[in-house]
Amino acid sequence: MSLEFTASEMMSVTAARALRNDMICFVGIGLPSEAANLARLTHAPDVTLIYESGTLQTRPDVLPLSIGDGELCESALTTVSVPEMFRYWLQGGHVSVGFLGTAQIDRYANLNTTLIGDYRSPAVRLPGGGGAPEIATHAREVFITVKHSRRTFVNAVDFITTVGFGRDGKAREGVPNIGRGPSLVITDLCILKPDPDTRELVVTSLHPNVTREDVIEATGWDIRFATQLERTPAPSAEELEVLRDLKARSDAHHSSQP
Q: Digits of tens for pLDDT over the chain (258 positions)?
A: 568 999 999 999 999 999 999 999 999 888 889 999 999 999 999 999 999 889 999 999 999 998 888 889 999 999 999 899 999 999 999 999 999 999 999 999 999 999 999 999 999 999 999 889 999 999 999 999 999 999 999 999 999 999 999 999 999 999 887 889 999 999 999 999 999 999 999 999 999 999 999 999 999 999 999 999 999 999 999 999 999 999 999 999 888 876
Domains and CATH numbers, the chain: 7-255 (3.40.1080.10)
CA-to-CA separations, 156 to 163, 164, 180, 191, 202, in angstroms, rounded: 12, 12, 21, 19, 16
Measured CA to CA, the distance from residue 258 to residue 244 in angstroms comes to 24
Q: 71 CB contacts (<8 Å, ≥6 apart)?
A: 60, 61, 62, 64
Burial letters 156-178, b for 16+ CB under 10 A, else e: ebbbbbbbbbbeebebbeeeeee
Pick the catalytic residue: 34, 52, 71, 134? 52
Active site residue 84: no
pTM, two decimal places: 0.93
Q: What is the pLDDT of residues 117-127, one digit of tens each?
A: 999 999 999 99
Q: Which of 138, 130, 146 is nearest to 98 (CA)?
A: 138
Query: What tens digit of pLDDT does each residue of 173-205 get?
Result: 998 878 899 999 999 999 999 999 999 999 999
8 Å CB contact between 26 and 90: yes
